Structure 1
Amino acid sequence: MTTLQAPVRPQEPTSVETRGGRRGRRTRERTNWPLTVALALASLTVLAPLYVTVSMAFKTSAQSVDGNAFSLPSPINFQSFADAWKLTRFPVSFGLSVAVAAITVTLTLLLSSLASYAIVRHWSHRFFRWSFFYLLGAMFLPFPVVALTQIKLTALTGLDNPVGVGILHAMFQLSFSVLLYSAYLRSIPIELEESARIDGASTTQIFRRIILPLLSPMNATVGIFAFLASWNDFMVPSLITANPSLQTLPVVQNIFQSQFGTNYNVAFASYLMAMAPTIVVYLIAQRWVISGITQGAVKS
C-alpha cells in the first residue's frame, strides 16, 4: 500500500538571502559618471563665488587687493561688517528692502492666484484665453523698454517711492506667476467645486475654502520667486525712487564702487549680509518650491 506524499516545493530564499540578493543588485548598478561630473562642475559655479564672497568679507583692505581672491583670510577681520553696517545704513536700507519685498509677494500671490483661477475655469471664453496669451507676451518685454514710461507714471501718481517699486515688481512678476498657477490649477479636479456648488457655496467661498488651501505648494513657489526677484533687483528702485534716503539695499551697496576702485572687503561683507536672508528663506521653503514646480507638470 503506497502513501501519498505532498509535492516538494522549491525552498524560498530566506530574508537574509533576499536582502543579500537585493544588496548585490544594488552594488552592481553602475554610477552615471558623466552626469556626476556634470553636476559637480555645475555646483562649482555656485560654490566658488560663494567661497570668494565669504573669504573676501573676512579680509582686511590690504588682503583684499593682493590679487588672490581664493586665498584664506589671515588674520580673520570682522571690521568689514561694522564698516558695511554704518556705510549702508543697514537697518534702514534692510527694512526698506523687506517692505518692498513684502508688498511684492503679497500683491503677486493675490493677483496671480485670482487671475489664474478665472482664466483656467473660463478657458472656453475668448476674453480669458486671450488674456492668458497677453500676460505670456509680457514675459518677453524687458523693463528697460518701458522704463521711461514707468518713471513718468510713478512720478505723476506719487508712487516714486518704495511702495511704487513694490507695485511694479508685482506687475512684472504677474506673467510668470500666472503661468505657474495656471498649470497647477489644471491638475485640481473641477468635481470638487461642483460638489461645493451643489451644497450652496459661492465662487468666493469655493476659492477661499477649497482652492486656496490646495494652492499652498504653488503659493510657496511663487512667493519665493517674487521675493528673490524683488530683493535682488537694482534697476527698478534705482530709477523709480526719487529720494536717495529711501533706496533699497542693492542700490545702497553701489556706494562701494568709486571712479578709482572698489572697497572690496567692505563691499563683500555687505553682500554677505544681504544674501543671508534669501538663503535662510529658501532653505526653509525649498521643499514647497520643488513640490510646486513638479506637481501639476504631469497631467494625472
Structure 2
Amino acid sequence: MINKKTNWNVTLLLIVGTLFILFPLYLTITISFKTPQEMADNLLALPVNWSFDNFRTAILTTGFFSALKNSLFVTIFVVIFTVLTNSLVAYVIARNMHKKIYKILFYYFVSAMFVPFPIIMLPLVKQTSAWQMDNLPGLIVLYILFNLSFNIFIYVGYIRSIPIELEEAAVMDGASTWKVFWKVIFPLLAPMNATVAILTCLGTWNDFLLPLVMLDHDHATLPLVQYIFQSEFGTNYNTAFASYLMALLPMVIVYVLAQKWIISGVMKGSIK
C-alpha cells in the first residue's frame, strides 16, 4: 500500500522557497506600476492606479528596443548554431569513446567547465580586440564555444544511450556518416536539443559580464543597458524596476513554458 503521509518538513521548505522566489517578483511588478509617492506610502500594497508611465520612461531612457534587437540577434543565432555544432561534435566523440584520443578529448572539453571566466577575461578582451571580434558576431562565436563543454557533457551521455544498430542499418542502406547523423541521430536528439536550446537561450539572454568586457554602447544588450543607464534612473526605483521587468519578462515566459524539457533533458544526458 502506498504511503500517502505528508512530509511536512519538505512541504514547509518548498513553501518558504517559493515565497523567496515569488516575493521579489511581486515587488518588481508592483513597483513598476507605482508612482514614487505610492511606493513611499506603502511598499507592499498594490498600485492604486496601474500606470504605464514608468515603462514609457524606461524605454526612452535605456534605448530599450535597440538593446532588445541586439539581444534577440545574439540569442537566436547562438541557440541555432550551438545546437547544430555542439551536437555534431558530441556525436563524433560519443561514437569514438573506445579510442584513447577521443576519451582524452572528451575529458579535456569537460574540464573547461571548471575554468572560472575571470581568469581568462583580460586575455580574451585583448585577443578579441586584436582580431576585431569585439562586436555582436564575435560575441556569438564566443558563446558557442563557451557552451561547448557543458553541452558535450550532456549530449555524449544521451547519444551513447541510442542503439548503434540504428546507424549500422542506415549504413547498410547506403547512408554516409554525414547522412546518418542528420537523418537518424539528430531527430532522435530532439529532447536533448530542446534542453540545450532552452539553457543556451536563458544563459545568453541574461549574461552580463561577457557583453560588458566586449561591446560598446551602440551594441549593448539588455542586461548591459541596465548597467549603462543605471546612473540616470538609479534613484528612480519605479523606472528602474519597469526596465528590469521588461528585460526579464521574455525569459520568464520561455522558462515557464519549457521547464519540463530542462529537467528531463539534463537527467537523460547525465546518465548513459
State the TM-score, normalized to the length of structure 1.
Answer: 0.85
Q: Which of 87, 102, 109 in structure 2 is aligned with 1:135?
A: 109
Match of 1:4 in 2: none
- RMSD of the TM alignment (CA)? 2.0
Per-residue CA distance 1:15-47 (angstroms, 9 max, x = gap): xxxxxxxxxx77x72112122112111212211
| 1:249 paired to 2:243 | no
| 1:285 paired to 2:269 | no
* Comparing 99-108 and 208-217, the one that deviates more: 99-108
Q: Letter of the aligned partner of 1:293 in structure 2?
A: V
Query: How far 1:63 moved relative to its partner?
Result: 3.3
Q: Which runs of 5+ in 1 are unaligned?
A: 1-24
Q: Does the C-alpha gap of structure 1 residues 179 and 69 become closer, same or farther in structure 2, counting only changes over 3 Å?
A: farther
Match of 1:70 in 2: 44
Query: How far 1:293 moved relative to its partner?
Result: 2.4
Does the 8 A contact of 1:166 with 1:230 survive in 2? no
Q: Which of 270, 279, 294 in structure 1 is aligned with 2:243?
A: 270
Query: How far 1:263 moved relative to its partner?
Result: 2.0
Alignment partner of 1:158: what SS?
A: coil
Distance in 1 (CA, whole Å) between partners of 2:137 and 2:42 is 42
Match of 1:191 in 2: 165
Query: How far 1:106 moved relative to its partner?
Result: 2.0
Q: Letter of the aligned partner of 1:271 in structure 2?
A: Y
Does the 8 A contact of 1:84 with 1:269 survive in 2? yes
Alignment partner of 2:231: what SS?
A: coil
Structure having the higher Rg:
1
| 1:228 paired to 2:202 | yes
Match of 1:177 in 2: 151
Does the 8 A contact of 1:256 with 1:267 survive in 2? no
Identity of aligned residues (%): 44
Query: How far 1:290 moved relative to its partner?
Result: 3.2
Per-residue CA distance 1:105-158 (angstroms, 9 max, x = gap): 122212210111011100011221111111111111122111111111111111
> Higher helix fraction: Structure 1 or Structure 2?
2
Q: Which of 118, 126, 129 in structure 2 is aligned with 1:155?
A: 129
Distance in 1 (CA, whole Å) between partners of 2:57 and 2:228 is 12
Query: How far 1:170 moved relative to its partner?
Result: 1.7
Per-residue CA distance 1:170-190 (angstroms, 9 max, x = gap): 221111111111111121111
| 1:204 paired to 2:141 | no
Distance in 1 (CA, whole Å) between partners of 2:28 and 2:46 is 11
Distance in 2 (CA, whole Å) between partners of 1:86 and 1:202 is 54
State the TM-score, normalized to the length of structure 2.
Answer: 0.93
Q: Does the C-alpha gap of structure 1 residues 209 and 260 become closer, same or farther in structure 2, counting only changes over 3 Å?
A: closer
Distance in 2 (CA, whole Å) between partners of 1:207 and 1:174 is 18
Does the 8 A contact of 2:158 with 2:271 survive in 1? no
Query: How far 1:74 moved relative to its partner?
Result: 2.4
Match of 1:95 in 2: 69
The answer to which structure, 1 or 2, has the higher relative contact order (CA under 8 A, 6+ apart) is 2
* Comparing 99-108 and 80-89, the one that deviates more: 99-108
Q: Does the C-alpha gap of structure 1 residues 289 and 260 become closer, same or farther in structure 2, counting only changes over 3 Å?
A: closer
